[in-house]
Amino acid sequence: MAEFRTEMHDGVAVIRWDVPGRSMNVMTRAGLADLAACVDAALGDGDVRGIVITSAGRDFAGGMDLALLAEMKRAAGADPARGIFDAVQAIHALLRRIERAGMDPATRQGAKPVACALPGTAVGIGLELALACHRILVADRADARIGLPEIKVGLFPGAGGTTRLVRKLGVMAAAPFLLEGRMVAPEAARSAGLVDEVVPADDLLARAIAWVRGATAAECTRPWDLPGHRMPGGAPYATAGFPTFVGASAMVTGRTQGVYPAAAALMSAMYEGALVDFDTALRIEARWFTHVLMDPTAEAMIRTLFLDKSALEKGARRPSAPQGRVARLGVVGAGMMGAGIAQAAASAGIEVVLTDATADAAARGRDTIARALDGAVARGRISSDRAAAALARITTASADLRGCDLILEAVPEDPSLKAEVLARAEADAPGATLSSNTSTLPIGDLGRGLRRPEAFVGLHFFSPVDRMPLVEVVRGPATSDATVARAFDFARHLRKTPIVVNDARFFYANRCIIPFLNEGVRMIAEGVAPALVENAARQLGFPVGPLQLIDEVSVALAVRIARETRAAQGRAAADDRADRVILALAEAGRLGRKAGAGFYDYDAQGRRTGLWPGLEGRARPDIATLRDRLIFVQALEAVRALDDGVLEDVREGNVGAVLGWGFAPWSGGPFAWLDRIGADRAVATAEALARDHGARFDPPARLRDMARSGATFG
């Protein structure tokens, strides 16, 4: 069945995109052929006076079928770059045929008007197709999203979107869409100049057809096809454009720390394209796009951040059990995490009972949520109506948890307090699923005193709840499949990405983050210049360095973890050198950001003013070794988590690492990174690190086996 089909509306060819079996259109290989057939037929038919391209569905398109990109590469066999380049050039040729629409290049006459009518969301190649049309109309649906998010999965718009948007808006105005992948609602898209008109949804097709009927020859010629077209904001060597281009390169370099090939390729496609005519610019864009697809970074990011993440969200690791929708949630503990989870749940339409030790504390939690919602309204993230409705779903009046489908405790990390809270919750609501937001305590231990430990599960949200996309669903030794499924469904309801992990100290994420933090502290103990430690982490693509991260979570917590690790695992596991630094900091009252002092100094407003001069390290070892230490200490721990059965699926290890703690997103996660460098090289480097820096770098047996056999994780 064709993915595009044409119907005639009194001389206007309406080409509808309708990919069978998909709720949202995506561009496939067959789709490209069908679109070409429809377009060529309409352009070649003397009775057709114009074209409207639209969708049969509620939205226009979700973008390119990313699996197709990998397929393109494989299909080309020995010369994948040639295969990709030719395929991309074919897309350019098709979109260019739409854009020229039969125009005589000499007289610039004879083009048939082409309008694009977007009923809703238009993303990626969906928008790129629209940008090749003469007029873009969008239905006034506030929930629709328009944008080019390719950069977020390690790509950049490679179907002409880069070249067209830069010529349409200029580098400065195009930057948020191309470089940050910003997605906007129709009205914002119109004011930014991405689309031409926002019209009532019911009138969309009629308005598009009317535009086609009335369009003049001038309206069917793109500005860049006119002689003397100048780029808005100036070309790279124009007086106005020069500082913009210089600044854009610098900004992107600083922000990406040079680890995202797609960002650099995008910059080059924009720069080189801006120096030449439109068709040459498209060819340049295709060369850089091919270059990015040939880089392992894009493949790793697509796989982890799109393919694997989608598969996990669709339930690849959810036990088969009936759907159990949570209608009413009880949250015990109205601190930062409890309030954050309550807010997320209420925003997703769930009734929430928020309780704490006292009514006052619960009320304070609700006030925190009210302020956070106000802030979200002020920033335009949600409408004030939706914010008010969310707040109205949260009650604190009664500590009565009866009728809750799911109860989540988020009280301080004190095992006896948690046990008491959970036992009371179980008594109050005997049929409810119970869960704990603990980040460190084994679920099996917490559930020991419960009458129904099978209905108890860990739900480890990350802070801040509204921004962190990952939830660790922790299966305790007694937790039933149905309970895991319910926790999984709850996380999905909140639009989080759940990974299902087994119960062990620190679960998966914290198990890997803690060695990262310790390694940074150890470097301080060794006298390494503290800025070098932080910058080594940044150069790996971590959003913040280990010292800053400790300040954020608090030095007190680091002290507690150090003490508990010592108590639970004995001296062998203890990290004496690192612990001494942490303890000294704590004794000096430097307990982190909240205390106004930690590894960093802070001003009265709580802003970092600089590393504490009391850290006297001046040593400057090779930063490459520091980078290796910081990334290996995490990646090896991830492998151990897999060995220990905490992780059961490599995909969860990759997705969890990137979404949970910002593990070098360019790498696609620790397992993808190990595959990329190869187990043999990983083992050799780890052995060298173990020799120089300690047994924590000893490569696990699994990795050694893989080095011998040439196996990979993925």
Contact region with another protein (CB under 8 A), list: 50-58, 326-334, 358-366, 525-533: 525-533
Q: How many residues bind another protein (CB under 8 A)?
A: 34
Shortest distance, position 524 Cβ to another protein, whole Å: 13
Q: By CB under 8 A, is residue 554 in contact with another protein?
A: no
The residue within the footprint of another protein, chosen from 409, 534, 551, 628 (CB under 8 A), is: 534
Shortest distance, position 614 Cβ to another protein, whole Å: 14
Shortest distance, position 255 Cβ to another protein, whole Å: 7
Q: By CB under 8 A, is residue 254 in contact with another protein?
A: yes
Which tokens go with 471?
């939830």
**Cα–Cα distance for residue pair 76/87, rounded to 1 Å:** 10
Angle at 93 between CA 91 and CA 95, to 5 degrees: 70
Shortest distance, position 550 Cβ to another protein, whole Å: 16
Residue whose structure tokens are 């696609």:
668
Q: By CB under 8 A, is residue 230 in contact with another protein?
A: no
Choose between 447 and 520: whose C-beta lies nearer to another protein: 520
Shortest distance, position 534 Cβ to another protein, whole Å: 8
Q: Report phi then psi at 342, rounded to 5.
A: -60, -45
Q: By CB under 8 A, is residue 536 in contact with another protein?
A: yes
Shortest distance, position 673 Cβ to another protein, whole Å: 20
Q: Where do runs of H (alpha helix) occur along 494-529?
A: 509-525
The residue within the footprint of another protein, chosen from 109, 191, 253, 323 (CB under 8 A), is: 253
Q: By CB under 8 A, is residue 74 in contact with another protein?
A: no
- 565-568 long-range contacts, CB within 8 A, separation 24+: 568/505
Among residues 656, 236, 262, 178, the alpha carbon closest in space to that of 462 is found at: 656
Shortest distance, position 300 Cβ to another protein, whole Å: 21
Shortest distance, position 401 Cβ to another protein, whole Å: 49
Choose between 66 and 626: whose C-beta lies nearer to another protein: 626
**Cα–Cα distance for residue pair 338/327, rounded to 1 Å:** 17
- The three-class DSSP label of residue 379 is coil
Choose between 600 and 663: whose C-beta lies nearer to another protein: 600
Q: By CB under 8 A, is residue 280 in contact with another protein?
A: no
The residue within the footprint of another protein, chosen from 28, 395, 463, 535 (CB under 8 A), is: 535
- Sheet (strand 122-123) strand order: 122-123, 146-147, 183-184
Shortest distance, position 12 Cβ to another protein, whole Å: 43
Choose between 56 and 251: whose C-beta lies nearer to another protein: 251
Contact region with another protein (CB under 8 A), list: 234-242, 459-467, 511-519, 684-692: 234-242
Q: Where do runs of H (alpha helix) occur along 429-477?
A: 443-446
Which tokens go with 330?
């009880």
**Cα–Cα distance for residue pair 517/520, rounded to 1 Å:** 5
The residue within the footprint of another protein, chosen from 623, 684, 688, 690 (CB under 8 A), is: 623
The residue within the footprint of another protein, chosen from 539, 548, 634, 667 (CB under 8 A), is: 539
Choose between 257 and 463: whose C-beta lies nearer to another protein: 257
The residue within the footprint of another protein, chosen from 103, 139, 169, 264 (CB under 8 A), is: 264
Choose between 110 and 610: whose C-beta lies nearer to another protein: 610
Residue whose structure tokens are 């030790």:
357
Query: Helices H, strands E: what count in the chain?
Result: 29, 19
Among residues 113, 127, 90, the alpha carbon closest in space to that of 43 is found at: 113
What CA dihedral angle connects 179, 181, 185 and 190, to 10 degrees?
Answer: 30
Choose between 280 and 383: whose C-beta lies nearer to another protein: 280
Shortest distance, position 529 Cβ to another protein, whole Å: 4
Measure CA of the first residue to CA of the last residue in the chain; give whole Å: 34
Contact region with another protein (CB under 8 A), list: 202-210, 248-256, 392-400, 489-497: 248-256
Choose between 273 and 700: whose C-beta lies nearer to another protein: 273
Element (H, E) at 278: helix 278-293
Q: By CB under 8 A, is residue 614 in contact with another protein?
A: no
The residue within the footprint of another protein, chosen from 206, 226, 251, 378 (CB under 8 A), is: 251
Angle at 615 between CA 610 and CA 621, to 5 degrees: 100
Choose between 121 and 539: whose C-beta lies nearer to another protein: 539
Q: By CB under 8 A, is residue 620 in contact with another protein?
A: yes
Question: Which residues, 6+ apart, have CB-to-CB distance to 48 below 8 Å?
Answer: 8, 11, 12, 13, 42, 112
**Cα–Cα distance for residue pair 546/537, rounded to 1 Å:** 7
Q: By CB under 8 A, is residue 248 in contact with another protein?
A: yes
Among residues 248, 238, 253, 109, the alpha carbon closest in space to that of 172 is found at: 248
Q: By CB under 8 A, is residue 246 in contact with another protein?
A: yes
Which tokens go with 106?
């000499």
Choose between 51 and 179: whose C-beta lies nearer to another protein: 179
- The three-class DSSP label of residue 7 is strand
Q: By CB under 8 A, is residue 611 in contact with another protein?
A: yes
Q: Is 307 exposed, middle or buried (0-12, 13-18, 19+ CB in 10 A)?
A: middle
**Cα–Cα distance for residue pair 251/285, rounded to 1 Å:** 21
Q: What is the residue type of 448?
A: R
Provide Rg for the chain, Cα atoms. Answer: 28
Q: By CB under 8 A, is residue 268 in contact with another protein?
A: yes
Shortest distance, position 541 Cβ to another protein, whole Å: 12
Give the torsion sign (CA, 119, 124, 126, 129).
positive
Q: Report phi then psi at 546, rounded to 5.
A: -65, -35
Shortest distance, position 602 Cβ to another protein, whole Å: 15
Q: By CB under 8 A, is residue 610 in contact with another protein?
A: yes
Contact region with another protein (CB under 8 A), list: 12-20, 46-54, 238-246, 688-696: 238-246
Choose between 247 and 449: whose C-beta lies nearer to another protein: 247
The residue within the footprint of another protein, chosen from 37, 76, 192, 252 (CB under 8 A), is: 252
Element (H, E) at 6: strand 4-9
Which tokens go with 290?
């091919």
Report 95-124 residues binding another protein (CB under 8 A): none
The residue within the footprint of another protein, chosen from 245, 289, 461, 488 (CB under 8 A), is: 245
Residue 633 to residues 46, 250, 303, 641, 643, Cα–Cα distance (Å): 68, 31, 23, 12, 15
Q: By CB under 8 A, is residue 249 in contact with another protein?
A: yes
Which tokens go with 153?
């999965």
The residue within the footprint of another protein, chosen from 40, 242, 310, 400 (CB under 8 A), is: 242
Q: By CB under 8 A, is residue 548 in contact with another protein?
A: no
Q: By CB under 8 A, is residue 258 in contact with another protein?
A: yes
The residue within the footprint of another protein, chosen from 103, 139, 267, 401 (CB under 8 A), is: 267
What CA dihedral angle connects 274, 275, 277 and 282, to 10 degrees?
Answer: -50
Bridge partners for 497 per DSSP:
470
Among residues 515, 547, 514, 551, the alpha carbon closest in space to that of 528 is found at: 547
Choose between 129 and 532: whose C-beta lies nearer to another protein: 532
Choose between 238 and 583: whose C-beta lies nearer to another protein: 238
The residue within the footprint of another protein, chosen from 11, 200, 237, 644 (CB under 8 A), is: 237
**Cα–Cα distance for residue pair 600/546, rounded to 1 Å:** 12
User: Binding residues for another protein, per CB under 8 A?
Assistant: 236-237, 239, 242, 245-255, 257-258, 264, 267-268, 271-272, 529-532, 534-536, 539, 610-611, 620, 623
